[in-house]
Amino acid sequence: MSNKPFNTLTFYGAAQEVTGSCHMLRIGDYRLLMDCGMHQGGDAITRVDDDVFEFDPAAIDAVLLSHAHLDHSGMLPKLVHEGFRGPILCTPGTRSLLQVLLEDAAQLYFRDIDYENERLARRGKPLIRARYSERDVRKVIKQCCCQRYGDWRDITGGLRVRFHDAGHILGSAIIEVSIDEGDRCQIIVYSGDLGNSEAPLMKKPASLAQADIVLMESTYGDRDHRPMADTLAEFKAIIEQAREQGGNILIPSFAVGRTQEILFYLGCFYHQGLLDGWQVFLDSPMAASVTDIYNAYLHEFDQQDLASIYGERSRDLEDFLPILTISESVDESMAINTISRGAIIIAGSGMCTGGRIRHHFKHRLWKKNNHLVFVGFQASGTLGRLLVDGARHIKLAGSEVLVKSQVHTLGGFSAHAGQTALTQWLSGFEHKPRVCLVHGEPRTLRVLADHLWEQLGIEAVIATRGASMHF
Ligand code: ZN
């Protein structure tokens, strides 16, 4: 490593936005990318095509991946396609999830390209080509080098990396980079996405004490979440109401994390005797694969949470929630339609933009004894948001469906730390480090920066796209 006066940290995404995380560390001649996320929103083609790398992918030496969510990992196939050949350092859990998430995203992307090309061909216009292939997705997985929490890994002379549990989703990591340049040693910490300590299964985000620079996420930097006990009380009340009315419950849910969290609570309710007469359906092949992965990594989760439901019994899903049916095939999914009452149906997609939940809407949304329960954020422009905002009729595959079911939003579920938890995490560093805030909306970032100044006397910088910090 050459001894240049300045190393730099440059922000290429998640700068005054909550999506497209991508930051580059330049240490001497060495280039490390921390995350390579996709911008969310829009269709699959624009998500991939509109993001143009503002650096040469072939010049990146290694990627440090905080976790598998696509807004942190989704551009990796394109990075590989454009010449990145180095290692992708991540935890084993992240690698397992990454394969499922990238394969699913690629399927949607290629399907959209086929549709678009059919449309263009009909008009005699030139066709578009995919910006990465299935082979690139396989290469990404091959390039992953797994590293467990707590282990240091030497990257190149004087440069080491280790991961700490971020408690956000399975495998999620806080990244610590140590740079020893002989006359000085500096530590850069990137929080990744920090988990919500009230969420079940996940451990509390690890607290660190040493850093010169901290790059911290700020998703909920302006507020605290509703207490989980209130949210669960509301959830139980909805189940009770649906039982009295002889109805069913539909839950659109995100495949990674939220689905497993909801299954956890339903398992708790079952063991409390609150789900007599109910059947639970997980109707999402992707969520089912992710749930299998979560099961394989039970040792990584909060053992107290696990013990609270399993006790000394064997730890498998059938014991935990015997009333659960996982619907893999389309026939199994359609068979759920024949159940007139007592079904809790969890299906993707989380914002109702696609997936099997839309079929269940067609069958059930026009009946007033059914309940639709939102358990995650609904972005504007999505079908989920329309329903949350009180739409009385919606269009599904060209036909109109009346919305007579009761619509609820359970606001307390979150996989992110709230303002108090972010502040506490940052207060764990012994000497006030330089702090840079990423992964937040502009207003949220300003509120958090003010709060950190008042509470900790830390003057946080808000990252702007393309800007660099020198150190
Ligand atoms: Zn995330």
Ligand 1 centre distance from Cα of residue 308 (Å): 26
**217: Cα separation from own chain's centroid:** 13
3-state secondary structure of 349: coil
Ligand 1 centre distance from Cα of residue 145 (Å): 20
What span, in angstroms and rounded, lies between the C-alpha atoms of 170 and 112?
29
What span, in angstroms and rounded, lies between the C-alpha atoms of 341 and 243?
8
For the segment 252-290, what is each residue's pLDDT rounded down to a tens digit?
998 999 999 999 999 999 989 999 999 999 999 999 999
Q: What's the pLDDT score for residue 157?
A: 87
**Tokens coding 363:** 């069958």
Ligand 1 centre distance from Cα of residue 193 (Å): 5
**84: Cα separation from own chain's centroid:** 24
Banded model confidence at residue 398, pLDDT cuts 50, 70, 90: confident
Q: If residue 88 lies in a helix (H) or strand (E), which one and from where to where?
A: strand 88-90
| Residues of the chain above pLDDT 70, percent | 97
Ligand 1 centre distance from Cα of residue 42 (Å): 19
Ligand 1 centre distance from Cα of residue 425 (Å): 17
For the segment 238-250, what is each residue's pLDDT rounded down to a tens digit?
999 999 999 999 9
Q: What's the pLDDT score for residue 313?
A: 62
What span, in angstroms and rounded, lies between the C-alpha atoms of 356 and 359?
5
Ligand 1 centre distance from Cα of residue 143 (Å): 21
Q: Calculate mean pLDDT across residues 345-355.
A: 91
Ligand 1 centre distance from Cα of residue 450 (Å): 24
Q: What's the pLDDT score for residue 379?
A: 77
For the segment 379-397, what is each residue's pLDDT rounded down to a tens digit?
778 899 999 999 999 998 8
* Burial (CB count within 10 angstroms: exposed 0-12, middle 13-18, buried 19+), residue 354: exposed
Q: What's the pLDDT score for residue 118?
A: 96
**Closest Cα partner for 61 from 33, 41, 39, 36?**
33
Ligand 1 centre distance from Cα of residue 273 (Å): 33
Between 45-49, 174-178, 333-337, 433-437, the lowest mean confidence (pLDDT) is in: 45-49
Ligand 1 centre distance from Cα of residue 336 (Å): 31
Q: Beta 8-13 vs 468-470: how paired, if at all?
A: antiparallel
Ligand 1 centre distance from Cα of residue 146 (Å): 19
Ligand 1 centre distance from Cα of residue 102 (Å): 14
Beta strands in 253-339 (DSSP E): 279-282, 324-326
Ligand 1 centre distance from Cα of residue 322 (Å): 30
Ligand 1 centre distance from Cα of residue 209 (Å): 23
Q: In the chain, how many H helices and how many E strands?
A: 15, 22
Ligand 1 centre distance from Cα of residue 191 (Å): 11
Ligand 1 centre distance from Cα of residue 66 (Å): 9
For the segment 33-78, what is each residue's pLDDT rounded down to a tens digit?
999 999 876 778 888 888 899 999 999 999 999 999 999 999 999 9
Average confidence score pLDDT of the chain: 93
Ligand 1 centre distance from Cα of residue 178 (Å): 24
Residues 6+ positions from 307 with CB-CB distance below 8 Å? none
Q: What's the pLDDT score for residue 310?
A: 67
Ligand 1 centre distance from Cα of residue 103 (Å): 18
What span, in angstroms and rounded, lies between the C-alpha atoms of 17 and 19?
6
Other C-beta atoms closer than 10 Å to the C-beta of 185 total 11
Residues 6+ positions from 305 with CB-CB distance below 8 Å? 200, 201, 264
Ligand 1 centre distance from Cα of residue 392 (Å): 32
Ligand 1 centre distance from Cα of residue 112 (Å): 25
Ligand 1 centre distance from Cα of residue 416 (Å): 8
Q: Where do we find the tokens 């929080």?
A: 191
Asked if 267 and 275 count as a contact pair (C-beta separation under 8 A), the reply is no
Q: What's the pLDDT score for residue 2?
A: 47
Ligand 1 centre distance from Cα of residue 331 (Å): 33
Strand partners, 345: 250, 281
Ligand 1 centre distance from Cα of residue 411 (Å): 18
What span, in angstroms and rounded, lies between the C-alpha atoms of 456 and 450?
10
3-state secondary structure of 224: coil
Ligand 1 centre distance from Cα of residue 69 (Å): 5
Ligand 1 centre distance from Cα of residue 67 (Å): 7
For the segment 103-112, what is each residue's pLDDT rounded down to a tens digit?
999 998 999 9
Ligand 1 centre distance from Cα of residue 257 (Å): 10
Ligand 1 centre distance from Cα of residue 348 (Å): 17
What span, in angstroms and rounded, lies between the C-alpha atoms of 59 and 170?
30
Ligand 1 centre distance from Cα of residue 147 (Å): 19
Ligand 1 centre distance from Cα of residue 74 (Å): 12
Q: Look up the pTM and report it.
A: 0.92
Ligand 1 centre distance from Cα of residue 432 (Å): 26
Ligand 1 centre distance from Cα of residue 68 (Å): 7
Ligand 1 centre distance from Cα of residue 370 (Å): 31
Ligand 1 centre distance from Cα of residue 170 (Å): 10
Ligand 1 centre distance from Cα of residue 275 (Å): 31
3-state secondary structure of 359: helix
Residues 6+ positions from 131 with CB-CB distance below 8 Å? 48, 49, 78, 81
